[in-house]
Amino acid sequence: MSAQHFTDKLGQLIEQDNSLNESQKLQWLTRITEIRQTKINILITGATGCGKSSTINALFATEKAKVGQGVDPETMDIAKFELDNLVLFDSPGLGDGKAADRRHSKNIIDKLNETDQNGNLLIDLVLVVLDGSSRDLGTSFELINQVIIPNLGVDKSRLLVAINQADMAMKGRHWDHETNQPEPELVRFLAEKISSTRRRIFEATQVEVTPIYYAAGYKEGSIEQRPYNMSKLLLHIIQNVQQEKRAALIQDINRESQIWQDDDALLDYQQEINQTLWESVCAGAEKGAEIGGKIGSLFGSAGEKIGSGVGVIVGGICGFFGRLF
């Protein structure tokens, strides 16, 4: 079931349910319309070779992406890709020479200060991708500390730092390719890299960040590396977007199951994603148990049980989200 069909079906159920008064129905239908019309704008940056493109392709259904047109000279280095509810701005990082770095920095600053038609800051989230296989991240820290953080405004939670190519850290040693998991020695190394990244950013800016590590994966001919920790990365992206907007990501999440197959064992990230998304759907709409069972029944007895037990829309949302991965 597509996200569009899902919201259509929810709308039908709400309109047909006699246990809801007209005010409640209007409230829910308005919320569903808001989700359909919401745009989430994400700026992605990182040094050349860090794996931005592979990250974007793994996370989102980018076969639907359309490259933005009419880009003016001042922003020509930032590519714009539009999906259904998601707009991605792909910006080069620093490290291409002083002149190019000045241009990239200006473009990023301009984009971070751009506002929408309501006067709100356009960019909902900045994702900085670091190269986990590199020991020299000085240029990336310069980008974070001197360009991005000073231009985030009051809400510093819009920044997410993620370390890609975890499988290539320590020159590719200590990665179990059979299970697609880091071995204990590599886990310790990556944990220290996370701590070092957090510490360096805080010492320079007094801003707390919570970096994560992952591997976006790749396929070159007959050689293939499955993604790792993508559910964890997706959860962090969702959590760093304003709550009422999060549900709009449903339609653009990559549906390929192998993308979400391998994660660390610290948390059931997919369950957390489901929980976070349904809470976003419910944000601003009245909760109750009246039609939870009916919505949940669309997705079998498990969804019906959840729906009738905890709220208006939970059963349907959980049943649908369970099919995302």
Residues 73, 43, single domain; the answer is: yes
What percentage of the chain has pLDDT greater than the value 70? 78
The reported pLDDT for the residue numbered 321 is: 52
Q: Are residues 114 and 204 in the same domain?
A: yes
Please give the structure tokens belonging to residue 77: 């280095």
145 in Cβ contact with 105 (< 8 Å)? no
Of 125, 112, 181, residue with least CA distance to 158: 125
Q: What is the pLDDT of residues 267-276, one digit of tens each?
A: 889 888 887 8
Quick: pLDDT tens for 39-74. Answer: 999 999 998 889 998 999 999 977 766 655 444 444
152 and 293 share one domain:
no
The verdict on 90 and 174 lying in the same domain is: yes
Q: 175 CB contacts (<8 Å, ≥6 apart)?
A: 167, 168, 181, 182, 183, 186
Q: Does residue 290 share a domain with residue 260?
A: no
For residue 321, count CB atoms less than 10 angstroms from its CB and return exposed for 0-12, middle for 13-18, buried for 19 or more.
Answer: buried
Identify the burial level of 168 via C-beta atoms within 10 angstroms of its C-beta, where 0-12 means exposed, 13-18 middle and 19 or more buried.
middle
Q: Domain of 72: which CATH number?
A: 3.40.50.300
Alpha-carbon distance 313 to 265, whole Å? Answer: 29
Q: Quick: pLDDT tens for 279-301.
A: 787 776 644 434 444 444 443 44
Looking at the fold, whether 129 and 266 belong to one and the same domain comes out as: yes
Residue 322 banded pLDDT, cuts 50, 70, 90:
low
Name 174's Cβ contacts closer than 8 Å, sequence gap at least 6. 182, 183, 184, 185, 186, 189
Min mean pLDDT across 62-71, 117-126, 177-186, 201-210 is at 62-71
287: left (phi over 0), alpha (psi -120 to 50) or beta: beta
- Average pLDDT (221-233) is 89
Average pLDDT score over the chain: 82
User: For residue 296, what pLDDT is reported?
Assistant: 45
pTM of the model: 0.84
Q: 293 and 180 in one domain?
A: no
Query: Which carries the bigger pLDDT value, residue 229 or residue 97?
Result: 229
Write down the pLDDT at residue 132: 94
Same domain, 271 and 302: no
Q: Are residues 23 and 148 in the same domain?
A: no
Cα–Cα distance for residue pair 314/33, rounded to 1 Å: 18
- The residue ranking higher by pLDDT, 61 or 85, is 85
Residue 306 pLDDT grade (very low, low, confident, very high; cuts 50, 70, 90): very low
CB-based contact 291:19 (threshold 8 Å): yes
Asked if 290 and 168 sit in the same domain, the reply is no
Same domain, 54 and 191: yes
How long a stretch of residues is the chain?
Answer: 325
Do 245 and 138 share a structural domain?
yes
Distance in angstroms (rounded) separating the CA atoms of residues 142 and 127? 15
3-state secondary structure of 67: strand
Question: Domain count of the chain?
Answer: 2
Question: How buried is 279 (Cβ within 10 angstroms: 0-12 exposed, 13-18 middle, 19+ buried)?
Answer: middle
pLDDT category at 307 given cuts 50, 70, 90 is very low
Residue 267's domain spans which residues? 39-282
